Amino acid sequence: MKTMYNKHFFSVVITGMALLMLTASSCVVSKQKYLDSQIALRTLKNDSARMANEYALLTKKSAALQADISLLEERKKQLNADLEKASTDAQQKGNALQKSQSQIAEQQKKLAQLQALLDAQKAAVNDLKNKMSSALKGFSASDLTVTQKKGKVYVSLSENLLFPSGSADVNENGKKALLKLAEVLNANPEITVNIEGHTDSIPMRGAKFVDNWGLSVGRATSIVRILVNEYKVDATRVVASGHSEYDPKDSNNTAEGRARNRRTEIILSPKLDELYKILSNE
């Protein structure tokens, strides 16, 4: 009986020890899991804090990038506006340059036309001078001269060749000179004729003309009547004027000077219609 009791006691002890060992083992396992979970929790907290910091940093960077994007968009808009303005300005300048080049070309064309006309008129005036000199070569150089200046031909006839002193009636020698002159004029219808009467400074004493103005104009109109009525020069080409003593050729203080001042000048000019037409289109 004692033996059975010992066996039972031993069995109980063994069983108790086994239970104790199982309980201890269970406690050890639970504590390890707890420790592991705490480590994992701290790790997660650290990771969470790190990720929060990273998120905050990324958010800050994102905001900075968004601001940069907005600034770049504004700059893009400004650059597009500047580009459009530059393109418009370039187009306008290109149009202005093209217009300027066209105007320059047109001006050069007009200058060439003007130069051609001037050259042609110069040649025509020189030819007219030669024709007049040839037609009037039989008259004395002291009574008649043919000169060329300022694009015109000047035929200067003395009082001695044309008129008695103080008179506006053309004498026979004067009519002969005017006939030769009219022949050249009728052969050159493009020439205009300006007839100017000139006197010296000695006052008029006769009753026919009040003063030298009347004498100078009377002599010019007498020559016009002969050219137009007798020698058939076109009246629309002829102009008469008197300068009295106020456009002297020489001094009125000497007899020789006064004789040179008593003259009639017939000024021949080429028509400038084409020249005026070009100039009026400037």
Task: Evaluate whether 233 touches 227 at the Cβ level (below 8 Å).
Answer: yes
pTM over 0.95: no
Strands 238-242 and 191-198: parallel
Q: How far is CA 138 from CA 53, 142, 143, 173, 265, in A?
A: 125, 12, 11, 11, 18
List of residues 6+ apart from 95 with CB closer than 8 A:
none
Listed residue (172, 188, 270, 165) closest to 230, CA to CA = 172
Segment 21-50 shows an average pLDDT of: 75
Task: Classify residue 204 by its DSSP letter.
Answer: P
Q: How confident is the model at residue 280 (pLDDT cuts 50, 70, 90)?
A: low
Segment 39-64 shows an average pLDDT of: 82
Q: Residue 133 — φ and ψ, nearest 5°?
A: -60, -40
Q: Which of 146-150, 197-201, 239-243 has the lowest mean pLDDT?
A: 146-150
Give pLDDT, residue 244: 96
178: pLDDT strictly greater than 90: yes
Cα(210)–Cα(28) distance, integer angstroms: 160
Task: Kindly state the helix (H) or strand (E) to which residue 41 belongs, with its residue range.
Answer: helix 2-135
Task: Kindly state the helix (H) or strand (E) to which residue 173 belongs, with its residue range.
Answer: helix 172-187
Q: Which residue has the tokens 């009347």?
A: 214
Q: How confident is the model at residue 205 (pLDDT cuts 50, 70, 90)?
A: confident
Give pLDDT, residue 120: 79
Cα(139)–Cα(155) distance, integer angstroms: 12
Q: Which residue has the tokens 């202005």?
A: 96
**Looking only at Cα atoms, what is the longest distance across the chain?**
206
Task: Evaluate whether 274 touches 117 at the Cβ level (below 8 Å).
Answer: yes
Superfamily of domain 136-280: OmpA-like domain (3.30.1330.60)
The domain segmentation of the chain, as residue ranges, is 136-280
Could you list the beta-strand ranges (E) of the chain.
Answer: 144-149, 152-158, 191-198, 238-242, 263-270
